[in-house]
Amino acid sequence: MSLEGVLRRGLERKPILLMTHLVVGYPSLEDNWAMLEAMNQAGVDLVELQLPFSEPIADGPRFVKANHDAIQAGVSWSTYFSFASRAARIGFPVVFMGYYNSVFRMGAEAFCSRLAEAGLSGFIIPDLPPEEAVDLNTLARDCGLDPILTMTPTNSPERLAQIGRQASGFLYCTARTGVTGRQTDLSQGVAEFLRRCREATPLPLGLGFGIRTAKDVRVAREHSADIAIVGTAGTQAWEELGVEGYRSFLKGLVDA
Amino acid sequence: MLHETFAELRATFDSARRDETFWQSYVDVTTSYGGRPTPVTYCDNLSRTFGGARIYVKREDLNHTGAHKANNVMGQGLLVQRMGKRRVIAETGAGQHGVATATMAARLGLDCTIYMGEVDVARQHPNVFWMRQLGAEVVSVTDGTRTLKDAMNACLRDWADSMADTHYVMGTVCGPHPFPQLVTYFQSIIGQEARAQMLAVAGQLPSRVYACVGGGSNASGIFTGFLDDPETELVGVEAGGKGVETGEHAARLAGGQGSPGVAQGYKTVFLQNEEGLMRHTHSVAAGLDYIGIGPMLADLHQRGRVRFESATDAEVVEALRLTMRKEGIIPALESAHAFVAAFREAPTLADTSAILVNQSGRGDKDIFTVADALDDEDWKDFIGQTAARYAR
Ligand SMILES: Cc1ncc(COP(=O)(O)O)c(C=O)c1O
């Protein structure tokens, strides 16, 4: 089934889905595996796995450190893909997240075939503008992969419409400008922003950047987001609360 | 995230370029505030020392704030005024671009934040002091290799949030479009002047032009003036650090260790591993200690129009010492790279020919690094006494 199909089926059962995130190799592959098991138990709907990069310009301090520590620990493409293919067998859809230089160095064809072989559903490349991505996205669709594009509050209606036309799977809508990891005031303009995104595409809308608590997930749901995306807060919960605390953190988000 | 911001910047730059009065208004600020035109100096003693070609130096060190960086900053200041933004941010390595940006912000009444890698904050501290005196906030960047590339990442992150009221004053010919073109446009004033000055002072065009290459803005600026002169060979000099063979350097093109990549919002030749992770770089000169190179320069290299060489830290210190002793000129450590290549090649050229070295900046900022490299006892005593006085 297509990624969009899986999401739509999920949305028949619940009003909002949950996507979680981890940087592969941070804090360690063993920790990552325990995180995935906790995600599965808690009922997380989909997961993004980040391939570490040395210049993660869309990330805030916590993920910058995670990227650099994972590189230091020696995480390579082959580490990433062998981990990702295990992760994809758990059951929930898994998507690639990473920076364009990794894709460029791998080559678009090799990138798509490695993702498809690993059983991933799509990819998020925050530093690749859609106009530069036309060839990659065409190749990807031929391999059954969905390019997941980003919409941001500063995008003009024309820009949103243009992104909407090229998107598939779902949209990653950032609740604010800037980088990952900072608090977001979700009462400010998010409803209006999601309305504009909705006008630009019929695909499911994921809301990310600054979603940290069950309350945030409820607010996202009230604003008719289809997926709540939790990134930095998840890594922070793992680091600060340990495995039990992480489980109840996820449970809280799923039950929100 | 920055799509609309780049569209605004492109539109502002395009309309400025089409406006016939704009270039003149730029020349006017660089004259009345920046001290342009900078002279070309004939260096008789150096020429005699090496024999061969006569050595001329384009004196960008005589700009206000002491480097070519001031040109670009004054130009972008005019664009900031056109866009009506009230805050500027900039990355800096050697601190020269940061100081220049801080003066512009002070003069135009703008808020100013400068990002600088922690390593560079330590080795270029005189410039940190001046930036703060000028009213800028200096943020020490502690992630990654804590040098220029990391300062650039920090700027891009700040800008992704602050674009509504903030302009990113990119300091070199790198980064996303239109920065490489825009910075080259403003720095081309160096080459425009230099070409006319060589004809007037030397009575001929230079057979070679040498410029150091960090991101590549001073090189692009001077080379632009000679692109249509096929008899003038253009030579870019990169940081050879401890030697290109040691891996501790920042030579992307000379030595052939760089490879194509896309990072920090642009495509060029980077020093990276096979999987696209950026390598650590090293140079005694903070302003050259960088993974990437201006994409237009990489292209000129590929087309064979610009030749690339490298100079090691040790050669650079030696060239600096010689230039001071022979000519009473104090080049920045960055600029001294260009002198190394010129000194290497001058003896092989006819004494009827002239070569031109771009002295991108002055060396005052390097006092700590140079004193260390020269192991100057008197300076160490002075620093020791000053430290003791502060400790009391
Ligand atoms: C004096 C001087 N020269 C050269 C450079 C290198 O920059 P670019 O290659 O852009 O001229 C710097 C950068 O900090 C500098 O301060």
Contact call for B262 and A179, based on CB within 8 A:
no
Residues B358 and B219 sit within 8 Å (Cβ to Cβ):
yes
Tell me, what's the pLDDT at B77? 98
Residue B249 falls in the annotated catalytic set: no
Long-range contacts at A2-5 (CB < 8 A, ≥ 24 apart): A2/A144, A2/A146, A2/A169, A3/A93, A3/A95, A3/A121, A3/A122, A3/A146, A3/A168, A3/A169, A3/A170, A4/A146, A4/A168, A4/A169, A4/A170, A4/A203, A4/A204
Query: Considering only CA atoms, which residue is closest to atom 5 of ligand 1?
Result: B287
Tokens standing for B76?
């972008």
Q: Å from A36 to nearest chain B CA?
A: 26
Across chain A, mean pLDDT equals: 96
Contact call for A76 and B163, based on CB within 8 A:
no
- Tell me the mean pLDDT in the region A1-15: 96
State whether residue A159 sits within 8 Å of chain B by CB: yes
Domain containing residue A192? 3-255
pLDDT (tens digit per residue) in A201-254: 999 999 999 899 999 999 999 999 999 999 999 999 999 999 999 999 999 999
Q: Å from A55 to nearest chain B CA?
A: 7
Residue A182: which pLDDT band, with cuts at 50, 70 and 90? Answer: confident
* CA B261 – CA B64 distance, rounded (Å): 35
For chain A, the first-to-last Cα distance in angstroms comes to: 27
Q: Give the position of tokens 């690639």.
A: A96
In the set A48, A146, A216, A226, the catalytic residue is A48
* CA B354 – CA A149 distance, rounded (Å): 55
Residue A1: which pLDDT band, with cuts at 50, 70 and 90? Answer: confident
Residue from the list A56, A57, A101 with its beta carbon closest to the beta carbon of B261: A101
CB burial class (10 A; 0-12, 13-18, 19+) of residue B140?
A: middle
Tell me, what's the pLDDT at A181? 86
Could you tell me the CATH number of the domain that includes residue A51? 3.20.20.70
Contact call for B1 and A152, based on CB within 8 A:
yes
- Tell me the mean pLDDT in the region A14-26: 98
Tell me, what's the pLDDT at B392? 82
Angle at B93 between CA B237 and CA B216, to 5 degrees: 35
Contact call for B163 and A57, based on CB within 8 A:
no
β-strands B259-263, B266-270 pairing: antiparallel
In the set B3, B43, B174, B337, the catalytic residue is B43
3-class DSSP state of A66 = helix
**Cα distances (angstroms) measured from residue A167 to each of A13, A231, B379:** 24, 21, 63
Q: Chain B window 284-323: which residues touch A at a Cβ cutoff of 8 Å?
A: none
pLDDT (tens digit per residue) in B90-107: 999 999 999 999 999 999
Residue B174 falls in the annotated catalytic set: no
3-class DSSP state of A217 = helix
Q: Å from B153 to nearest chain A CA?
A: 6
Residues A219 and A20 sit within 8 Å (Cβ to Cβ):
no
Please list every protein residue whose CB sits less than 6 Å from any atom of ligand 1.
B 67, 69, 93-94, 96-97, 172, 212-219, 287-288, 332, 334-335, 360-361
Alpha-carbon A4 to chain mean position: 14
Q: Which atom of ligand 1 is nearest to the CA of B96?
A: 16
Residue A187 predicted with pLDDT over 80: no
Contact call for B144 and A61, based on CB within 8 A:
no
The candidate with the shortest Cα–Cα distance to B255, out of B268, B269, B240, B241, is B240
CB burial class (10 A; 0-12, 13-18, 19+) of residue B48?
A: exposed
Query: What is the number of structural domains in chain A?
Result: 1
pLDDT (tens digit per residue) in A32-70: 999 999 999 999 999 999 999 999 999 999 999 999 999
Residues of chain B with confidence (pLDDT) below 50: none
Strand partners, A174: A208
The candidate with the shortest Cα–Cα distance to B293, out of B326, B319, B271, B315, is B271
* CA B364 – CA B64 distance, rounded (Å): 13
Tell me, what's the pLDDT at B242? 98
Tell me, what's the pLDDT at B221? 98
Could you tell me which chain B residue has the CA closest to the CA of A127? B265
